[in-house]
A and B are shown apart, each in its own frame.
Chain A
């Protein structure tokens, strides 16, 4: 999931998707669960020491501070969960069936040959060996008069995260230019993107 050598498996289409709301509720549940587990742990520890008949001054002090520690930790967990749930739920929801713009990569490449009719090879993952077929790549000329610049648009599917290397070829096939496209995406969109200028 997190490196060219350990690429993301991509979304699992058969799995039911988790909503932002369910994630928020899950986070609350995790927080509450952690608090009660911690409290129970302290109570069990104290009960064990009492029943052993060796309950001393150390336990007297440590037990109380264990409860205090749990108190602080539980409170802080809960507050942080609330903050992050606001962030999670404040995002606008994704529209069902909407394409994932993050998997469409566009870049401009300067070439030393005429930009008209330029084609791309397949792209190969540098570490993982994945492939982006040339059919998923379009090469166009930007509007206006950009000089020797082409726009390369790649449609990634479930390819692994990696650096993908390809070659642009001139229309007559006599000249070429290598190019690289980084791809690093996690899962699928949970909501529409927010753009800040």
Chain B
């Protein structure tokens, strides 16, 4: 995950205690006091004219929440938000003499909108401000995210649906958008994707493959890609192969995907990763629907990973669908590769990605207390071994100690689980 996308995630967490608590339980921003102003500034820090950046519409929506009168920290937040306000400003104003006044006007539009009912907030912000705001802000509507757990085959999968509209006053059509939507181009339009690699060998085994090159102009084709997302370059999920189906007509584009057939030796922890992105071109606008269903394989992950799936949109998994419509999107095409078929060397993830990777390797999260105990124990034992003073008595004593701790931790964990379920049951009973 790119640093600016992480900062965006942190800004959202700072404004939503429930979301923060969920991420903290995964080891993300755990114990951190997040400053939403700082995080929002970091989300635009050294921003490039790249289509893989945080979508401006998300920056604007978060700024609106931040500026709600009940949350306002300063009487004049301009100094703290100036880099963000600049990103929301129309380019001609940003680069011209009217920059300072423009920034003031964007702030005043945000504050005015932040004070009204949330249902009318966006229209209040955008209406009458089109000449002031960057086109990415007023052309693309804020996404509506619908999440729902789905039950089938005695499993719970997470369904995430995202809908938004994009104004297209020039009726440019899908020929502009389609090349950006090719799977190989997804990493160009979303920093959450490390790579989408065509895989010839798996392709031959995919049923129903159409013998058509994977071009943007083709009406239909199918092809298997290896997906790497999250911690780049290796990605969070090993051996994730997706079978894509491309469907294109004059006024409609559908990119449909599902996990390709699992093969012996595959290490993927995903049982379901499927959905589609659908773009319908209508006069003067596009309607976009992105659907994703996720389920982790409980052979390696007993809990199902419902949390990660539930927040797939917030993690940036679907950003590319927004960024295809960005003004900066054209810059992406000239720099993107043609196939994405570059084998990247795996390396240890760092920063925020590390704890998620830790969990996914065996569906585990970083439990700081346990790990630090283990670390101290190992250091002590290894020091004694090196010094030649580690005897049978010490070994037996250590074995007893770690076994005792293991059972003790297990008992506490089970106790916590039971308390959690009982508390939730009481809460549900109380509200029903």
Contact = CB atoms under 8 A, between A and B. Distances in A.
Is chain B a partner of chain A in the same complex? yes
Specify which of A25, A65, A82 lies most central, judged by the most chain B CB atoms within 10 Å of its CB. A82
A39 interface: yes
B256 A184 contact: yes
Specify which of B155, B206, B274, B306 lies most central, judged by the most chain A CB atoms within 10 Å of its CB. B306
A127 to B, nearest CB: 5
Interface in B386-432: 392, 395, 398-399, 402-403, 405-407, 409-410, 413-414, 416-418, 420-421, 424-425, 428
Contacts of A28: 414, 417-418, 421
B395 A60 contact: yes
A146 B131 CA distance: 25
Given A5-B208, A64-B395, A76 B366 contact: yes
Interface string A7-45: 010110000011011011101101110111001000000
B303 A74 contact: no
Contacts of B150: 102, 185-190
Contacts of A20: 149, 156
A4 B414 CA distance: 41
B62 interface: no
B251 interface: yes
B157 interface: yes
Specify which of B22, B274, B287, B358 lies most central, judged by the most chain A CB atoms within 10 Å of its CB. B274
Contacts of B41: none
Nearest to A24: B421
Specify which of A11, A27, A34, A188 lies most central, judged by the most chain B CB atoms within 10 Å of its CB. A27
B374 A72 contact: yes
A4 B208 CA distance: 9
A180 B359 contact: no
Contacts of A108: 280, 282, 287
Contacts of B207: 5, 127
B75 to A, nearest CB: 28
A119 interface: no
Contacts of A73: 362, 364
A80 B364 contact: yes
A35 B417 CA distance: 15
B142 A82 contact: no
Contact of A27 (B142, B303, B365): B303
Contacts of B302: 27, 30-31, 34, 77, 81
B342 interface: no
B381 interface: yes
Nearest to B283: A147
A69 B280 CA distance: 52
A171 B407 CA distance: 73
A124 interface: no
B153 to A, nearest CB: 7
A123 B374 CA distance: 60
A184 B275 contact: yes
A117 interface: no
B364 A89 contact: no
A92 to B, nearest CB: 10
Contacts of A34: 302
Given A31-B302, A161-B274, A182-B278, A80 B363 contact: yes
B350 interface: no
B307 interface: yes
Contacts of B261: 6
A89 B161 CA distance: 20
Given A77-B302, A86-B307, A184-B293, 13 more contacts: A27-B298, A68-B374, A74-B406, A76-B367, A79-B367, A84-B303, A90-B424, A110-B281, A163-B254, A185-B150, A186-B152, A196-B144, A197-B118
13 contacts: A3-B260, A30-B303, A39-B407, A72-B364, A72-B374, A74-B406, A76-B366, A78-B410, A79-B25, A89-B421, A110-B280, A126-B220, A163-B254
